[in-house]
Structure 1
Amino acid sequence: MDIALERRALRTFEESLMEAPDARDAWIAAKCGDDPQLREAVRALVDAARRSTAFPTEAPSARARPATIAPPERIGAYRLTERIGSGGMGDVWRAERDDGLFEQSVAVKLLRPSLYAATSAAYFDTERRVLARLRHRNIAQLYDGGADPSGLAYFVMELLTGDPIDHHVRRRKLEPRAIARLVIDVCAGVQHAHAAFVVHADIKPSNIIVDGDGVVKLLDFGIAQVLTAQPSDGADESGAYPLTPAYASPSRLAGERPTPSDDVFALGVMLYELLVGAPRDAAARLPLSLASAIDVGDQRMATFEGDLAFIVARATDPRPDHRYASASALATDLENWLGLHPLAARDRDWRYETSLFIRRHRWGVTATVAALVGLTTALVVMGVLYNRAEAMRVQAEQRFGEVRSLSKFQIFDLYDALAQTPGTTETRFRMARVAQGYLDRLARAPSTPPEVRLETAAGYIRLAQVQGVPSMPNLGDLDAARANLARADAMLAKTDLPGASLERAHCKLMMATIAIQSDQRMDAAKALVAEAERLLGAPTDPISARWLDTQQSLLLRQMEIADWEERYDDVRIIGAKSLAALDTWRGDMRLDDRYPVWRAGVLSKLGNARWYLGDREGGLQVFQSADALLREALVRMPNSTSLIKALIVNNYDVATTLDSLGQTRGAIPRMRESLAYGNRLLSFESRDHNLRRLMWRQQSALAQLLASTGQFRDALREETAVVAAKQAYRRAHPGEIRAERDLAFDTMVLGTINWRAGRRAEACRSWAEAEQQFLSLKTRGVLTPWDTSTQLGLLSNNLDVCARRKPASAIRLET
């Protein structure tokens, strides 16, 4: 099934859940009309959801298992003393530390072998280290994890005493307001984990304990995802994740990757069940309705028909884009409900807000009615006497300033803050687009000051970045990005205010990035970079962070062009200049993630230059210095998406260099780590096209490493998945040069792996297809000299072997 059909089917499936169960099939038939493929795909999703079982949590591919796991006497420094629980993932034991260093009681979860076997040891190790960094009052602390000498996998966790949250609510007969406060605490823990790119994937009452002090603790955070997610694509061979269907969103039931939105859905279901006091009906229409869950005349009806019902319905909407955007947004509206404030997610009108105001201030409103009548009369008289023309002028100026300030705040301050928050690519786009609408209207006004036009141009650049500028989080809309950059450039060319030249230099570099990385037009890129260098000029006094960032972007683009043109000595010269410039950054400028990310990017280019000049050991040393820099920075800033992405790129450099030096087995764990990090980011930024491309590159590299070690079945599975994904991307983005070139390259790689696996006919077919794709680019004048000499040369040679014009010994398998 192609990606477009999958998305349409999933969207239709989600919408169908809003219909009554007995009317659902008829609704699907009418919705799909004369599209039999869509109808078949939707019905398959419905059937899969109907077949789902409710309890316990388990991997769908798991086979029948014994009731308990035979435990060892001890795990590391801990002696197992008492089995205190058992679940779908394994058994939980109380354990005591007895190594003499200090006393400590912990919980040890022994994992079922069928679950641990689905994941490589390297991936497991990476994930458990990420989870161990989660430190929050409402998350049970994970201390350690690994496997004992016999291969039994385990987690060592905080030992908790208390009741599951649903038992706690029933035993204490808590009222809705007390339940809301508990769920707010749960949301706080969930949001903290989401900020660290960790999805729980199995939120339910039994995974939430309320201890003796009334503190909420979430258990098993992210462990379900750790155990069963394959490093390559995030799913086990069945394509499914462990879940508890009663709390699973429609997309989870359909086998999709867990996302933060799915955690929000589970929170909404749990809130519903805690309020109602009973599990939801599996056949209930979505979103869930509190009022329909209780009998007419129930004293809770008044509570369940208002804002609380809206919160539950919003959280359990079957359509992800209609749910709360985050756990913190859900918590905010629960706090608003508790304080009788308007809900942030609800459309407002004066009647709604007035009614809440009166409920908050019932006695004060009553006491001041008479005074308000007198005051209103006085205000009317004063209004008549006031100079109306002057009032209108002042009001217009005030509104102009307010709109301008709001737009600036949205496009710059709020945009930059959101850029550091996971899962906000599309939110930033929508926010910038709305703010841009304000600025557009201001810029068209005849009396608009020049500084507002400058802000408008800067807004266009921000909008273009999130629309489709490569190397940045973007939504893959290259045409829109080009159009907005052109608009910004035209506006800036007519502006001579301070800062306009710097902003225009930045704009030119965004254009150059597209020319290099998407269009592969180096002549156009060189002209844009030269113009940017002229506009950048001498540094400001004092030097601003904006100027320094633009300088590094300029030098990096120059290195990219030299790299594409195989001018590796020039890469080294420019790289030395870039490092020297970074050495001048003040100490306070080196505290955030910008400095290590820029420096690692330069080192990547320098390491590649050494590699291509024949100094592979020297290249490895450069890559390893970047590795040390990034890992040190990640200790200080573990949730920086920029640092994580830079580490993924550097792992690729290190792994491919190790492979070229004959150290392939040492390279594979690097790629596993990259895929673990990347899959975590994709759970939050599924629409980030730059991230998807980055992860395809890692997956393809892993496939080649696996082939080098003789693991051909796994290698072919990985590379076939990459080629299929790139084919779908090219269909969705016709005419995009980078998409065509990337597909040609990976088709060539698939041929190489097939040849190594002894599948000669399949290899020759892939090479022939790749050659045609490269030749198509060459005909249009967009193939780089490197691809012309290297890739087409290799393909021509290998196809001669396929045609028996050359002996098999002439085959070339390097990529």
Structure 2
Amino acid sequence: MRSSTTRVRPVMPDSEELFHQALARATPEREHFLDRACESRPALRVRVDNLLQAHHASGGFLEDPAHPRQQPVDPADALGTRIGPYLLQKVLGEGGFGVVYKARQEEPLPRSVALKVIKLGMDTRRVIARFQAERQALGQTDHPFISTVLDAGSTPEGRPYFVMEFIDGVDLCRYCLERNLSVPDRLQLFVEVCRGVQHAHQKGLIHRDLKPSNVLVVEEDGRPSPRLIDFGVAKALHPQPALETAHTEIGQFIGTPAYMSPEQAGSTDRDVDTRSDIYSLGALLYELLTDSPPFDSTRLREASLIELQHILREEEPPPPSERARSTRLRGDLDWIVMKALEKDRRRRYSSAEALAADVLRHLADEPVLASPPSTVYRVRKFIRRNQLKVLATGAVLMALVGGGALSLWGWREAIHQRDQSEHRSHFVDSLMAGSIPATELVTQARATFGSDHSALAAALELGAEQAHAKGDLKGAMDLQEQALITWVEIHGELHLKVAASHGRLGALLQDDGAIDAAEGHLRRALAIADQADGPVRASLLEVNINLAAIHRRRGRLLESAAQLQTVVDIRRREFPEQQDALGRTLEDLSDVLTAAGMHQQAAEARSQMIDAFQRAYPEEALITADRHIAFGSWLHSAWFTTGSRLVDAEDHLRQGLAFYKANTRLQGPSYTTGLLALASLLTTQDKAAPEALPLLDEALASMARLHGTESLEYARVEVRLALACAATGKDERAARLQKHAFELRATELGKDFRPADSLLALGSLVRGIAQNKEAAAETYAVAAELVELLIMHAPERGEWQDLYRRLVESRDAARGEDQP
């Protein structure tokens, strides 16, 4: 993983961890430690203080607990010991809860590996969940620029660990400095980093901590090649239950401040998507070009949470050419970097591949998509980013610029407004930090803004978002309802602000399960939008999508499809640059049409989806290949209702597989899916299709690389291959494959194994072998062994005994004939 010792920024601890860390310190030092650890987090400080008071009140009861918590030890103390078959040789890195060692494996393959294990004393449930999430995250990726997981297990004490390839590499920026790489060479390396990030995004993962020390460079055949590491805080776009537990607690943030997007510094990570990694890539590119990050690292580390949020959300770093004082960077590279670093994520590059494509255009002296922002845009951006503050401080501006001459009264009024503005600004900062309870927000907002109803409504809506993010759905609905009432008082019923507010309230009610009320507000939002003047708002797209979900939930599939088609039409007309979002909507539309039995229309929607993703990622053939395979698999699954589409299915599958055959290092789960789908399609047309066996053989080899030969996934492909072998007269191989798959499933599933699921196929196979008078002795022998397994798991079936005797007799007879 790492070859040099680096310090990973610790994940912010929870109250239990801080309690034990504080308890380990002397009383005079304890207060200072907690002051620093709980800075800007008063609620956490209260919880820790309560734990300490309870501990002291126990009169020493907790001094010697039945199951004492291990105190942290020096990770170097473990060097020379073994974890599983791995000999620990060197500490490579240490984070808040884990340690990474360089280790040596001797069996079955001598090699150096990187082993990550939870620290002694840090094995809380939350930490273990986060640790397992990192392992799952890395396990889902399969790309030459991402470190791969080789093994996993637990120590005798129950601490989980996992093993990765050892990357003897150098920090990306340090590598560029030490080798004095030119700007074009640095940009080529950066493009490869983008492609690794793109692959992770395609697999549904956001890294969330991209920085130079998490990109190591190794040299292969004399040329540099990057490796992405440390997915310890990765977030799933579509999380499984195990991954959901790895999310940060409310009030915490995850990442490294110098490379963290503005949305990552919020009080919740629910608003973080792939565009957060685009920002971090922009910060990484900034440092590659200027040798320093966009903002001063020391200043960010020492800032309180509110100060950090202010810097990331409000302040603009100088363009790279100004920071580096280099005219060489002026123009394209300034524009590319600053587009990636946009505060408004909608204005960033839509994907890592789009960012890489613009860099490649610059290298090829072609026009880039990024461009310098206009003056009008900069003014509008300031107002959008500071909408609530503009509303809050507008009176100050009016007082100061309302006339050419300023009277004494006017000056005093301006001073009064300035003081009021500072009070409002402080309220807004607290609100954005999520530190005002929902129950107190209305009262505080009214006291702060008084008759400034627009600012009040905006504050209530922001508070509703914060409450929802914290899981306080009732508080969020109450605040949003108050905001809706306020907007109506300001604008009347027919206004886009009112429509958007109805939409937000409908979404919250939908989350709460109040479907009837939710549908009413969503319909009202669309009705108002139809009558109100103004441009189409992106928020109204969400209204249509939410209403489509309600239609689908209630079985109104045609209405759901119509609603999604509306979103598709609006996206094409109003937001043509958002091709990725268009592709996802078309995918949802296809799913609804499929459920409605409208397979031809569903197939057309999927075809348009492929086109949208190709436009969204023109340089990323991997995404296109995976979409071809997914579309081909879908067409094959619905072939009986799509008629000629069966030919289209084969064409799409072959297009996707052709990419992977030309790029063997990228072969992963999607490649295996394509092989299996194409083999299934061919055997549907001809059970003995000659191409099916080679496809299934390759699928089995691919599954072995992905999951090993003792996995359930491998067993499932063995069964598929066995059926193909039996259809082409290869009975002995079919029996061996079925026998191994049966034994493996019985072992892996344990009490959940149901042999009845396999009896029909196995019974047909062994009966066919028993009836064949010309089979080889080994074929009869393997079939007899298979029947022995059937007898063991289904002894009530008396026919197996007779079949076993016949096979043994045939085996012995065939062996006798073979004797000279």
Which protein shows a greater Rg? 2
TM-score (norm 1): 0.37
Looking at both structures, which has the greater relative contact order when contacts are Cα pairs under 8 Å and sequence separation is at least 6? Answer: 1
TM-score (norm 2): 0.36
